[in-house]
């Protein structure tokens, strides 16, 4: 069920599914969405410094009145905050806004040339201090990770990437796996652009499920982590209700076959 967790290389575990809160800028709406997700079994909430809503996420979590270790909170260091001192200061600020003593997962939001290693050194130090439990990257390609490996003491345990049926990133997902890195799919639903795809619609009809549910089930069966976003309680519930059916291997192949390597975001540039 939605409670299933993935083991990370650093010994921690992470819920396989979570709620993304990108572009949830209305505080009241965000609080309602987090509450509704929690009630449906979501335990992971994915925010970022860049989203401008860490304080609202903090409020929403406080309002849940749950034990800290019952939930898993991810935030990401913005491009402007990269660098050793800036990263440390920005994460202390994030923790204040989130009203937390630690975040479960801290990600470098985007690979940039400046401060590439200094930022990561700050991540390692924040982990050592216990201010973050696990450290990872986002939007890192193979070369970024190989470059990071030349100086890192610890490698990322999660790499959050744009992944959906139109951008399956199979080679990158395999690379992550070979390096003991969990791929976490952002825009797992392709931000809504795949719902009308005839292949998805046909499979959905056969199972009596929605297009969104088929897509998320594909992620689940691939073994990735994924963080769909919605502010509508019925969709939040629907996105968690994917554990009572199974895609056959032929259906998995049909969805795999939809890949067209089209991105929502720009392609991350090489940094050196
Ligand atoms: P998504 O693929 O999760 O799609 C979200 C959109 O799909 C919603 O706005 C809604 O319109 C629609 N939707 C969701 N559930 C639905 C349902 N059941 N039925 C019909 N429509 C539905 O896209 P996203 O929000 O871009 O990505 C998810 C999360 O990933 C974000 O909220 C954020 O936390 C994270 N993210 C990370 C990065 C990064 O660079 N690391 C970039 C973008 C997003």
CA 101/CA 220 separation, integer angstroms: 31
Share of the chain above pLDDT 90, in %: 95
From the CA of 238, give the closest atom in ligand 1. Answer: 18
Q: Is residue 110 part of a domain?
A: yes
135-173 pLDDT, tens per residue?
999 999 999 999 999 999 999 999 999 999 999 999 999
Are 13 and 40 within 8 A, CB to CB? no
9-58 pLDDT, tens per residue?
999 999 999 999 999 999 999 999 999 999 999 999 999 999 999 999 99
Q: Which of 103, 167, 192 to mutate to test the pocket of ligand 1 (most atoms within 8 A of CB)?
A: 192
* Active site (annotated) includes residue 51: yes
Are 71 and 34 within 8 A, CB to CB? no
Q: Is residue 134 part of a domain?
A: yes
- Token code pair at residue 188: 């797992």
269 pLDDT more than 90: no
Confidence of residue 72 (pLDDT cuts 50, 70, 90): very high
Confidence of residue 92 (pLDDT cuts 50, 70, 90): very high
Q: Residue 3's pLDDT is what?
A: 86
pTM (predicted TM-score):
0.98
CA 164/CA 215 separation, integer angstroms: 8
**163 phi/psi in degrees, rounded to 5:** -140, 130
Q: Is residue 237 part of a domain?
A: no
Q: Residue 268's pLDDT is what?
A: 87
Measured in residues, the chain has a length of: 272
Q: Is residue 251 part of a domain?
A: no
Are 57 and 44 within 8 A, CB to CB? no
Q: Is the ipTM of this complex over 0.95?
A: yes
**DSSP string spanning 198-231?**
HHHHHHHHHHT--HHHHHHHHHHHHT-EE-----
Catalytic residue among 38, 42, 51, 147: 51
Residue 158's DSSP bridge partners are 182
Are 38 and 66 within 8 A, CB to CB? yes
Report the CATH number at residue 26. 3.20.20.100
Average pLDDT, the chain: 97
| 180 annotated as belonging to a binding site for a ligand | no
Q: How far is the CA of 223 from the centre of ligand 1 (A)?
A: 19
Which residues make Cβ contacts (< 8 Å) with residue 69, sequence separation at least 6? Answer: none
Q: Is the CB of 33 under 6 A from ligand 1?
A: no
- Token code pair at residue 205: 């009809």
Tell me the three-class secondary structure of 128-178, residue by residue. Answer: HCCCEEEEEEECCCHHHHHHHHCCCCCCCCEEEEECECCECCHHHHHHHHH
Which residues make Cβ contacts (< 8 Å) with residue 267, sequence separation at least 6? Answer: none
Residue with CA nearest ligand 1 atom 44: 186
272 pLDDT more than 60: no
Q: Is the CB of 186 under 6 A from ligand 1?
A: yes
Q: Is residue 258 part of a domain?
A: no
Are 162 and 187 within 8 A, CB to CB? yes
Q: Which of 268, 272, 270 is nearest to 110 (CA)?
A: 268
Confidence of residue 271 (pLDDT cuts 50, 70, 90): low
209-253 pLDDT, tens per residue?
999 999 999 999 999 999 999 999 999 999 999 999 999 999 999
Tally of domains within the chain: 1
CA 194/CA 48 separation, integer angstroms: 25
Give mean pLDDT, residues 180-194. 97
**75 phi/psi in degrees, rounded to 5:** -135, 170
Q: Residue 162's pLDDT is what?
A: 98
Domain that holds residue 44: 5-191+222-230
CA 39/CA 2 separation, integer angstroms: 11
Separation of CA 246 from chain center:
23
Element (H, E) at 185: strand 182-186
Confidence of residue 195 (pLDDT cuts 50, 70, 90): very high
CA-based max dimension of the chain: 54
Q: Is residue 64 part of a domain?
A: yes
Q: Is residue 159 part of a domain?
A: yes
Q: Is residue 214 part of a domain?
A: no
């Amino acid at each position: 069920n939605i409670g299933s967790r993935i083991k990370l290389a650093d010994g921690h575990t992470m819920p396989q599914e979570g709620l993304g809160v990108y572009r949830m800028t209305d505080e009241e709406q965000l609080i309602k969405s987090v509450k509704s997700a929690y009630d449906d079994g979501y335990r992971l909430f994915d925010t970022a410094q860049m989203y401008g809503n860490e304080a609202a996420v903090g409020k929403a979590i406080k309002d849940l009145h749950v034990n800290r270790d019952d939930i898993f909170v991810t935030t990401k260091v913005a491009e402007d905050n990269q660098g050793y001192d800036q990263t440390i200061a920005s994460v202390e600020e994030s923790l204040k806004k989130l009203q937390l003593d630690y975040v479960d997962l801290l990600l470098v939001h985007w690979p940039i040339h400046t401060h590439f290693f200094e930022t990561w050194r700050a991540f390692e130090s924040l982990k050592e201090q216990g201010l973050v439990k696990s450290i990872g990257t986002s939007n890192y390609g193979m070369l970024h990770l190989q470059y990071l490996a030349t100086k890192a003491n610890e490698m990322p345990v999660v790499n959050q990437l744009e992944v959906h049926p139109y951008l399956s990133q199979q080679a990158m997902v395999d690379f992550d796996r070979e390096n003991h890195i969990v791929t976490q799919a952002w825009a797992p639903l392709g931000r809504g652009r795949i719902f009308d795809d005839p292949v998805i619609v046909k499979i959905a009809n056969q199972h009596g499920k929605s297009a969104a549910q088929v897509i998320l089930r594909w992620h689940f069966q691939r073994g990735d982590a994924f963080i769909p976003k919605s502010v509508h309680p019925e969709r939040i519930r629907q996105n968690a209700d994917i554990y009572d059916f199974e895609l056959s291997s032929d259906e998995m192949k049909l969805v795999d076959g939809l890949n067209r390597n089209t991105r929502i975001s720009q392609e991350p540039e090489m940094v050196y």
